[in-house]
Amino acid sequence: MPDDVHFTAKHPTKRVAADCLFTDEAGRLLVLEPPYKATWDLPGGVVERDESPRLAAQREVREEIGLIIEPGDLLAVDWIARSGAFTEIVAFLFDGGVLAPADIGRIVIDPTEVSCFRFVALDEAERLLDAGQFVRVVAGLEARRSATTAYLESGSSPRRT
């Protein structure tokens, strides 16, 4: 084997995403409407090459809504299986914290990534987000309350046998 080819070069790669869960002081969830798909999103996105998930979440929040934040605790990790053309992905969900009115007033959206934002109750979030992301949000909110981290596989907690 040539010196410049590492044995890991033959290993499969996975996409990785990192989002932040933000709420307002009333406990409503911050959601973003992207201009390129039908469902709404949380602030966050794809982790770039040689970038940690935490730094990706921080970068994506800055790019999408203009806030400079330090992501908090890891609330959930979800492995999502391949489905049709949608390749498998590992999704990290970090705690973005509770945004005060002054923080919300500093939100500036990038129109190439976000059409608009709003804060919604969970029942409305369930209608706006795709089903898998909504499950991560519910798991993330529970993890925030209980100071734990949820591990999911395609939106479900794996069962032990």
Whether the Cβ atoms of residue 79 and residue 90 lie closer than 8 Å to each other: yes
Q: Specify the CATH number for the domain of residue 69.
A: 3.90.79.10
The pLDDT, as a whole number, for residue 21 is 98
- Specify the pairing of strand 15-24 against strand 44-46: antiparallel
Instruction: Tell whether the model's pLDDT for residue 57 goes beyond 90.
Output: yes
Give me the chain's average pLDDT, please: 91
Residue 17 resides in a domain: yes
Whether the Cβ atoms of residue 30 and residue 43 lie closer than 8 Å to each other: yes
Return the number of other C-beta atoms located less than 10 Å from residue 41's C-beta.
21
Residue 113 resides in a domain: yes
Residue 25 resides in a domain: yes
Residue 127 resides in a domain: yes
Please give the sequence-ordered ranges of beta strands (E in DSSP) within the chain, or none if there are none: 15-24, 29-33, 44-46, 74-80, 89-99, 116-120, 150-153
The pLDDT, as a whole number, for residue 112 is 93
- Domains of the chain: total: 1
Task: Give residue 62's domain range.
Answer: 13-153
Instruction: Tell whether the model's pLDDT for residue 159 goes beyond 60.
Output: no
The DSSP result for 40-67, as a single string, is: BB-SEEEPPTT--HHHHHHHHHHHHH--
Residue 2 resides in a domain: no
Residue 161 resides in a domain: no
Residue 73 resides in a domain: yes
The pLDDT, as a whole number, for residue 160 is 47
SS3 for 71?
A: coil
Residue 158 resides in a domain: no
Tens-digit pLDDT profile for residues 17-46: 999 999 999 999 999 999 999 999 999 999
